[in-house]
Structure 1
Amino acid sequence: MSQQPSVILATASYDHTIRYWEAKSGRCYKTIQYPDSHVNRMEITPQKRYLAVAGNPSIRLYDVNSASPQPVMSFDSHTNNVMAVGFQCDGNWMYSGSEDGTVRIWDLRARGCQREYESRGAVNTVVLHPNQVRCLLHWVSGHL
């Protein structure tokens, strides 16, 4: 088995394929099929262990160091496109935002949605405040 690259890039597109790249050489060293939907957003955990892949309507968590193409966890509570995903600095919890108008907080140790917030419209972006406690969100409203 080859050594894991020190700098990893991950890409995905509407072709339902996730690719891992060695940044220094530009070599694609792993390809994963993502048949569920197109990929809207990806984020690597702060410890660089997992890659969260957000689609419609689920989030799949892949082990970056595993040769397996199967996700290690799935998060399926959203009902529409998941447009935002991110992690708290210790990597124990994840947040997500969806076009279903919700922001969800997931505890990766408990493997489930711990909290849900409803917005006034589809959520396109969620950013964790630097204090690691508050989430800021951006939504699109149908009203002008």
Structure 2
Amino acid sequence: MSDSGQSVLLATAGYDHTIRFWEAPTGVCYKTLQHPDSQVNQLQITADRQRIAAAGNPSLRLFEINSGPPSALTTYDGHTSNVTAVGFEADGKWMYTASEDGTLKLWDLRAAGCQREYESGSPINSVALHPNQVEIVRLPAGNIRVWDLAQNACSAELVPDGDKSIQSLSIARDASTLAAAYVRGSVFLWRLG
């Protein structure tokens, strides 16, 4: 992950319960954090590069990246299965999580507890925050839903052709295109308006 004009911050994790930070140009691991609860399903770094979220089963831990002895700042509980998606709002004031338990949760990082919860009725594989910061795209059971956070309502639903199993989503930085990757290697694009 990088910001133009700044050095690259690269982090990896997996089933060994260890988060590793790397010097991207040299490939040298310079720092590790332990995630004792479970495997790490996904990582996300805040835009200011001060914190990293590690999604596990069934909780999420938020770590301070540049602190002395590494330790979790906060643990976010509330899901009942693997947390499969995590992301931050551009200013780092709130984050979202989604899970195989079929819920999408919004967390204010300045307050305790989940502020909003949405039920999808099926496991959620992937979530992407629209660059406008007021729409969130989630992926329950094959259909892609665009959720307007200000209106608290579904503003669009994209239905892929055929019986496709979508694994992940991504939105272009200029908000022009939504990409959906399928299990069997296909990628489909939708123009956003």
Cα distance in 1 between the residues matched to 2:82 and 2:45? 19
Note the C-alpha offset of 1:10.
Answer: 0.5
* Paired letter, 2:28: R
Note the C-alpha offset of 1:111.
Answer: 3.0
Note the C-alpha offset of 1:120.
Answer: 2.3
- Deviations, residues 53-107 of structure 1 (Å, cap 9, x unaligned): 0000000001111122210011001111000000111110000100111000000
Cα distance in 2 between the residues matched to 1:25 and 1:67? 23
Q: Provide the alpha-carbon RMSD of the alignment.
A: 1.5
Note the C-alpha offset of 1:8.
Answer: 1.6
Note the C-alpha offset of 1:26.
Answer: 1.7
Q: Percent identity?
A: 57
Match of 2:17 in 1: 16
Note the C-alpha offset of 1:22.
Answer: 1.3
Cα distance in 1 between the residues matched to 2:68 and 2:22? 14
Three-state SS of the structure 1 residue aligned to 2:72 is coil
Cα distance in 2 between the residues matched to 1:75 and 1:41? 14
* 1:29 maps to 2:42: no
Give the structure with higher Rg (CA). 2
Larger RCO, structures 1/2 (Cα 8 Å, 6+ apart): 1
Which segments of 5 or more consecutive residues in structure 1 lack a partner in the other structure? none
Cα distance in 2 between the residues matched to 1:6 and 1:68? 22
Provide TM-score, normalisation by structure 1. Answer: 0.90
Provide TM-score, normalisation by structure 2. Answer: 0.68
* Count of aligned positions: 138
Following TM superposition, the consecutive aligned residue runs of length 4 or more in structure 1 with deviations greater than 3 angstroms are none
Which segments of 5 or more consecutive residues in structure 2 lack a partner in the other structure? 1-5, 143-162, 164-193
Three-state SS of the structure 2 residue aligned to 1:25 is coil
